[in-house]
Structure 1
Amino acid sequence: MLHSTLTGCRSWLFVPGHDADCLADALDSGADAIVIDLEEFTPAASRHTACQAFVSMAESCRQRGVSPMVRINALDKGGRAELKLLMGASPEAVFLPKVEEVTQLTALSSALSREEKHWGIAPETTAIIPTIESRLGIKRISELLHSCPRVLAALLGTGDLAHDLKLSPEERSASLAPFRQLFLRACDDAGMLAIDGPWPAKKGFEADQSWSYQCGFRARCVVDSRQIKPLHRLLSAPST
């Protein structure tokens, strides 16, 4: 059975896997889930070391009641080798970037099944969370969400989506709004948790998070640990 507790995670903090100070800060942040991001935040030269360090990081997370997770690279771009190193620590979920094809998810599910068997992990207990970050991914989202029983949530990669849509920083907030709403509706229709994308700017987080909450999002990817406390406060606000 997949980890149903993951659907209760509000804050999903993405951090580099090679930076000891960032990892220590993440553990003290109060985040519900910590995601070691090998795809975007960890330099290629440091990924092997980050995978090895994940064993102790996962244990530290569990001691604090935090869910340890990872975002790997695409299977054909190092992700398969990363899984072999990571799965000994039994991450609760594996994020896959730039998902546009059902075959990406079914291939990851098969790879996870092999690693679960190798490491003596109960079958089907590692969740998959696809990152939807392109116009094509949004177009195919319903099919992607129903492609694999391991998928129980999805993340909207707003940064790469804005790049794919060729949006300027000034256009980003307003132009992404309909895509965020479409993503949320698709996840709701599939009975899955919708994780809203990060807010990378220094200002404006609380206003955007209030909008996100009013739309119906109840979980968010965070890349700045200082946003965790206001996120939790805003997510506990009564609906109006």
Structure 2
Amino acid sequence: MSVDNSTTGQQTPFITPVRNLRLAILDMSGTTITDDGITEQAMARALQEQGISAGSAQYDSMLGYARDTMGISKITVFEHLFEHNPGQAAAANRTFETVYDELVKNGGVRAIDGAADTIAWLREAGLQICLATGFGRHTQNTILESLGWMGMADLSLCPADAGRGRPYPDMILTAVLALDLDDVREVLVVGDTTSDMLAGLRAGAGVVTGVLTGAHTEAALRAAGAGVVVPSIKELPAVLQGR
């Protein structure tokens, strides 16, 4: 959050001291990793496989909705897009996961600059780490394996592990229970989408931080509940130290 400086009228960052935090829940795509657009490539293929013609008004509308809802569970997105046909939604999701996994294996993802260093810094500061995603479990594991990140976090979560994905608070609360925290205010949530911010706000996390390396703008992230917004996760340690 921020407080108003009555003398200058400027907004001065104010953040929970790092010593009061015990768990960092970090989003993956757009926050700690970048996939250089393969999410949209896989989404486009999934729509085309369901007979939605590329370039049609329906296709553009569906792809636009997928862009606007980045961070939300992909099966939830497809269930909305094909709300009158659950079987079609499930088939589209399977295609998405298959195509995305193939693109990941071909080198389609990489760590965002400074992400691994920030995770190491958070660990040294005494925080546990949870990597959270809107992808399915197999896709999440494929990403972690491709980066050599298996075992980097204390916990990794996808929507199926918690019941519902973002913007619901389920994954955050699941992590709190799984890692034996006493208070959800000891949680730091970091993400690049409005759904990340909403999930953190609804869970009651102590610090909800947006990054600008992914889907949404600073204005959108703040409107959704971000107390702090930084250019990238690389800057997070400096902010938590009050610098």
- TM-score range (shorter-chain normalised) is 0.3 to 0.5
Determine which structure has greater relative contact order: mean sequence separation of CA pairs < 8 Å that are 6+ residues apart, divided by chain length: 2
TM value normalised by structure 1: 0.33
Q: Write 1 or 2 for the structure with the bigger share of helix.
A: 1
TM value normalised by structure 2: 0.33
Rg larger for: 2
